[in-house]
Amino acid sequence: MNIFIRFAFSGLNYYGTQIQPDKPTIQGVLEEALSRIYNEKIKSTISSRLDKGVSALDFAINFQAPNRDFTLDYLAYYLKRSLPNDIFIKEVRQVNEDFSCRYDVKYKIYTYLIQAGEKRNPLLSYLTYQPVKAVSSDRLKEALELFKGTHDFRYFAKPEKEDESTVLTIDSTNLQKKNGIYYLNFKGKSFLRYQIRFLVGACLRYEQNRLSLDTIKRLLNGENIPYQKLKAEPQALILNKLYYPKIDKKRKIDEALVNLN
């Protein structure tokens, strides 16, 4: 039985999502809990590989249950009681045997949070990036606009394999502002390692007059131009939404703000 688990989590206490030896990860914690209840080793598929410190409001795993000894409702109850408080179970359901939470996603929305003004809220320091100086939304938007569409993102990422394709499509980008926080949104089917953080870093470099729009365009065309890359801090990055056409009800695309207020 192929079981799909949807949940949210704070990534501050984890070394990313993918399982690692001797380090707490989201996949590791979930698999440990599942292995205890089924009394045998459980292996899972995760929806995305996220960095250390990155959080998610929408994340998923799926796994093959070795038996039907537990109802889905009981499994959800067990996970809610046994997992740490920084992991919140949203849904447990059975899916088709060929369903994969990694490959069947139609799009993902990532959101990066920046405290915008001179006055900052220290209580949000673990969930936002706090620049030394106030940043201009107009200049951030100019840079963001360039990343929409199909480009070669090799110079805005760190491919994990030599033969990994770096030509990807970002469906849309936008910037929203609420209560002194900028929300930089990126929507697409898949992203490279560190891609969002390097894209945000490029936006910040441009806003600081340390990188030109022309250089960004040339880099997106695959030109190897030396430039000082900036990988934005991880704690401000959130996987905001996953959309699975096979299991999610048809709905209007909602790029809602992450509500921190």
Return left, alpha or beta for 206; rule: phi > 0 is left, psi -120 to 50 is alpha, else beta.
alpha
Identify the DSSP state of 180.
T
For residues 68-100, one letter each, b for 16 or more C-beta atoms within 10 angstroms of the residue's C-beta and e for the rest, the string is eeeebeebbebbeeebeeebebeebeebeeebb
Identify the DSSP state of 166.
-
Phi, psi dihedral angles at 196 (to 5 degrees): -60, -40
Decide if 254 is catalytic. no
Query: Which is catalytic among the residues 51, 73, 163, 248?
Result: 51
**Nearest in space to 260 (alpha carbons), one of 125, 133, 130:** 125
Q: Catalytic residue positions?
A: 51
